[in-house]
Amino acid sequence: MAWIFLITAGFCEVAMVTFMNLSENFTRWKPIIGLAIFGAVSFYLLSLAIVTLPLGVAYAIWTGIGSAGSVIVGMLFFKESRDLKRIVFISCIIISVVGLKFVTN
């Protein structure tokens, strides 16, 4: 169950950062509410995951999902660069996150 909490927490982090971008420097209140909700859920689920999983592994996977997911959202919805180098390095993060899942008990 801890892995489900952790992966969901990572996706909530992506949603939080997306709402942060949509808030236009904290000037729009609806995205700020989304940011606060998804941020709180993300931290809560991360706290549930680290009860069972090693802290370092859980934090690395949480930030990896958040980082890679945020870049992917930026490329898909905010017209950020889709340069091959960016895709290669984001792929490295995704491979690392998957690798940590396989080597952690």
Question: pLDDT tens across 7-26, in order?
Answer: 999 999 999 999 999 999 99
Token readout for 45 is 């689920």
Locus of tokens 């919805």: 77
- What is the spatial distance between Cα 63 and Cα 9, in angstroms, rounded to a whole number? 10
- What is the spatial distance between Cα 104 and Cα 62, in angstroms, rounded to a whole number? 14
Question: pLDDT tens across 84-93, in order?
Answer: 999 999 999 9
Please say if the pLDDT value at position 38 is more than 90.
Answer: yes
CB 70 within 8 A of CB 31: no
pLDDT band at 105 (very low <50, low <70, confident <90, very high): confident
Please say if the pLDDT value at position 27 is more than 90.
Answer: yes
Q: Output the pTM of the full model.
A: 0.90
Neighbour tally for 45: CB within 10 Å: 22
pLDDT band at 104 (very low <50, low <70, confident <90, very high): confident
SS3 11: helix
